[in-house]
Structure 1
Amino acid sequence: MVRVAVAGGTSSLGRLVVNAIVAIKKHDVFVLSRKDSDIFASEPNVKLFAVDYAVPATITAVLEENRVDTVISCLNLNTREASDAQLNLIEGVGKTSTVKRFAPSEFGLDNVEVAKVDFDYPVLEFKIAAIDKLKEFPSLSSIRFITGMFMDFFGPPPNPPQINVISIVIDPEHAKAGIPGDGSATIIITHTTDVARFVAAALSLPDWPEKVIIQGDRLTLDEVVAVAESVKGSKFDVTYSSVEDLKAGKITELPSNIPRYAFVPKPMVDGITQTFTIGMAIGLFDIKGPLLNDLIPEVKPLSLEAFLKKSLQL
């Protein structure tokens, strides 16, 4: 049995991770949050603690008092403030006498490899800062969960949505696609619910490798379109964009994103699309390395085909 704390466990991917751990019914689960909340009031097996991420000592105290031995960070590192919170979390964790394992908020690209190439990735600085910070605590075992692109962005979200998503690459509802490059690039895509299930299952591993890939599906971009067309039963209107065009801001607009502009402004949608599609075209989502799937074969992730059939209710 593991005593695990999830930082940022009240929403988005963090909430999914908490739910997946609870579903196993093997571990004691704690949630670290910036403020008090009754979100888990109906779940007696989850205890929430409000912590001050600006004061690492308060984090240390909470973890030690509750004999927490594993911490998973699901903090959304989209601002420097959030990055500073994770760095302080690592400081607080590293100074405990109880925590032996820590997972930073990675969940995407292999940022160590991204740092080696010329790629404008806004959160790269924050991701690398966490990796470097962990080196200050060599006795703390850490793991980077690398997931590729979230599959959620390739189909209509559930209602209510599990994470805030926009449509990227394909728009199955409107049979349209905007493909970066010539379509031959390979990408890893993994659904967030599968990410959560793999993370929960990894708690039972006796040892954590430095990094593992969680793989839902591995396809070329042209294969992504072919799968979507097969599920939809119709040909898509496909536009190919060169990396040069994408860098110039020439983004193929997917119709399902238009109503989302009321919540996520179009420049932000275009910026997110630009970053991820350039990354796909230059091969950053063709991630190589050890698969967590091989260590935990009992967890069966969704394929893109199964996800689209489910999300389109076909």
Structure 2
Amino acid sequence: MARVLSANNVHTVISALRVFESASSESEVNLVKASVLAGTPKRFVASVWGVQYAEGSMVGDARARTLTELRTTNLEWTRFNNGYFLDCFGPSTLKSYMQPVVYAIDVAHKAAGIPGTGNEPMAFTYTFDVARFLLAALDLPKWEEEMYCYGEKTTWNAFLKAAEDARGSKFNVSYDPLGKLQRGKVTELPAHQDMGYEVFSREALQQLMAIWGQFVLDGRYDLPLDKALNKTFAEVHPMTVKDVLAMWQGL
């Protein structure tokens, strides 16, 4: 990896590795080491692309190993916080390179399993807009250790209302209280069954989404708008929730 980075005179390394546990954590740590050995990289983007996981959790500890390694280097580094990806709520006509993981609101099947009261703040961003903010941030003279961007900050209840308006009918809605989330359970949506549990087992997906639900209640998706790159790069006009949901009209 070091030879490839050096041969191509790479200045900035952007990690998009899926860092969830020790093996993937080791891969990203090795990428940091390769960047140092190569000599040409000056900046490094550690893989988050969502929200920060709590310390003491498997994912949080896995990602912390990268930061520990980065702090031993002279690399300037950052992490991107962008909330939940809007790609997961669009129809198949929405351009995306990610495999959507439908969470909380299943627009296709007009169903919802919302964490908490539904009034907790949530940030959503389309992947292509995250890329646009990242591209703009490459020109910043100094990086903060955490950077923020968003397409829209709203609530699940407001999202639900916009989805119902777009589909022209009421959804079948359930709310998952904190106690249920703490037991590692969420409302199963039709889209989860359509996935066939190929990427995650049913139990693993339930537990992962229960963690996300607790993050919602903890305010981890409540990104600080005053620190967001949206203010610095006003020329970037990200897609909003309604922009994506409007694609469902007539379907």
Give the TM-score normalised by structure 1.
0.73
Tell me which residue corresponds to 1:306: 243
The 5 A counterparts of 1:1-314 are 59-111=1-53, 114-115=54-55, 121-137=57-73, 139-158=74-93, 162-261=97-196, 263-264=198-199, 265-288=201-224, 290-310=227-247
**Which runs of 5 or more residues in structure 2 are unaligned?**
none
Secondary structure at the aligned position of 2:173 is classed as: strand
Please report how far the alpha carbon of residue 208 of structure 1 lies from its aligned counterpart in structure 2 after TM superposition.
2.2
Q: Is the 8 A contact 2:83 2:223 kept in 1?
A: yes
Residue 58 of structure 2 aligns to a residue in which SS?
coil
| Per-residue CA distance 1:120-150 (angstroms, 9 max, x = gap) | 743111111111211101x311121111111
Tell me, in whole angstroms, the C-alpha distance in 1 between the residues paired with 2:190 and 2:249: 16
> Percentage identity across aligned positions?
32
Q: Which residue of structure 2 lines up, in the alignment, with residue 18 of structure 1?
A: none
- CA offsets, 1:174-206, max 9 Å, x none? 221111111121111111121122222322333
**1:101–1:141 Cα contact (<8 Å) kept:** yes
CA gap 1:206/1:313 in 2 versus in 1, 3 angstroms = farther
CA contact (8 A) 2:184 2:210 kept: yes
- Deviation at residue 87 of structure 1 after TM alignment: 0.3
Amino acid of the structure 1 residue aligned with 2:218: I
The amino acid of 1:294's aligned partner reads K
Query: How many Å separate the matches in 2 of 1:220 and 1:159?
Result: 22
Query: Aligned pair in 2 of structure 1 residues 232, 122: CA closer, same or farther (>3 Å)?
Result: farther
Q: Does the 8 Å CA contact 2:119/2:157 hold for their aligned counterparts?
A: yes
Aligned-CA RMSD value: 2.2
C-alpha distance in structure 2 between counterparts of 1:164 and 1:121, whole Å: 24
Secondary structure of residue in 1 paired with 2:68: helix
TM-score norm. by structure 2 comes to: 0.90
Letter in structure 2 aligned against 1:62: V
Q: Work out the number of aligned pairs and report it.
A: 249
CA–CA distance in structure 1, aligned partners of residues 131 and 95 of structure 2: 18
Q: Find the aligned partners of 1:258 and 1:104 in 2 and give their Cα distance.
A: 32
- 2:167/2:248 contact within 8 Å kept: no
For the 8 Å contact 2:83–2:124, the answer to whether it is kept is yes
> What is the deviation of 1:212?
1.1
DSSP-derived class of the 1:215 partner? coil
Closer, same or farther: CA 273–262 of 1 in aligned 2, 3 Å = closer
CA distances 1:92-147 after superposition (whole Å, capped 9, x unpaired): 21233321111111211134xx33xxxx743111111111211101x311121111
**Which amino acid letter does the alignment assign opposite residue 91 of structure 1?**
K
The whole-number CA distance in structure 1 between the counterparts of 2:192 and 2:249 is 16
Contact 2:83–2:221 under 8 Å retained in 1: yes
**CA contact 2:90–2:247 (8 Å) conserved in 1:** no
- The structure with higher relative contact order (CA 8 Å, sep 6+) is 2
